[in-house]
Structure 1
Amino acid sequence: MQGNIDREKVISEFSKRDVRGNDEGLIPEYNVLLNQLPTEFWNQFNERISTKVNPEFKKEAERLLYNSAREYGYHTGWGIITSDEFKSVVGPMIKDEPEDILHGAYALFTAWGWAKTEIVELDPGKKMIVRAYDYYESDVVKYGKSPKMSTYMIAGISAAFMDLAYGGEYPKGFNKYDCKQTKGIECGDDFAEFVVTSKQEQNNW
């Protein structure tokens, strides 16, 4: 399910672009400032916060990781989809808004190497199901199957992308959707799956 987007072309175009950090370690591209750190750093950071915290506060700790990814995805996502780079590659393919923009955003997400992701089901404004077949947060499986789903980045960003698509005018549309991870490679599944729904219909967390 890719809408009108030529997913392979988008991935190919953005994969060829050489994006480098400046002297301060920031990447001033796509209307935003990005940074580049080893995935091992983020995985260890996430695991320590979510496993070393007092069990009484475990849910709150995981929520903080998820919310960080959601805020990042919302503001960075807006910068990306309104950038000249995105418009030049994805723009000509867009026939149905905002659905095609969503498909284009996940193709770019894949091109950047964050996760091989795609939308497998989309009920506009109500529900979206995303699958990820390869992502850095699943690297923890090399230490053994995890007892918990821990793909906070993709979950948070997926909620943010739905906010951008259907939540209303930026930046007032934030926090209208929530995402629940239902499968994970880190838990032994073949892929990770994320279900995004309107917070008006249910609260997943």
Structure 2
Amino acid sequence: MYDLAPTKLKVVPLNRETLQERVYRQICDLILDGEIVPGQLVTIQAMADAFGVSHMPVREALKRLASANVLTVVSGRSIGIPQLSRDRLMDLYNVRLEVEPLAGAWAAKRISPDELEFLQEECQELKESGASENVKTYLRANRAFHFSIYRAARSESLLAIIENLWLQIGPYLNLLRGTGNLSVSDRHHQRMLECLRARDEAGTRQAVRADIEDAYDVLLKLLT
């Protein structure tokens, strides 16, 4: 005999959550790749059409990014990149100087041999994309290299903070094109790799810090 009364199963609705997370990640990639630039307005409709989804997952992703100060709602149906004032730039700079070198130092203790080998490959790709002066390819490779280091720190909390910081500054990193900063960064990246191989926590911390400092020196001149 079966109990014909309907049973309420405790199942997590994966499909909708997965879709919302996928849309969120795609928007994050657009921001970090410079596809959404400062001063540009993007409508929810245009984004939903581009992703082939309804308004709901796009709206939820944008709400999440707006609450994290990554995007700003210009009107009920449009979003944009917040203007970066000198004060906001310096605020992001000072926080990055604390958390990213720390992640580098932790990575020096915890990175695996396989991760080091992969990081070597990413460093080479970064150097090649810099030589080709393809800024978008370089920025993707740069992000991949840095986050391979930060993931090796084995701290989800620290990684989440760094991801948010990069989303806020990412749209403005495109301003570094043609400034000569790419070749300078390559030296810092090579130094990071050397220090990670040597398990040199202080050296890795300093290399990450120097990379951030040089990039911000250029951004400050461009934005002020």
Do the two structures share a fold, i.e. TM-score over 0.5? Answer: no
Task: Indicate the structure with greater helix content.
Answer: 2
| TM-score between the two structures when normalised by the length of structure 1 | 0.31
> Structure 2-normalised TM-score?
0.29
Higher relative contact order (Cα pairs below 8 Å, separated by 6+ residues): 2
Greater CA radius of gyration, 1 or 2? 2
Identify the structure with the greater strand proportion. Answer: 1
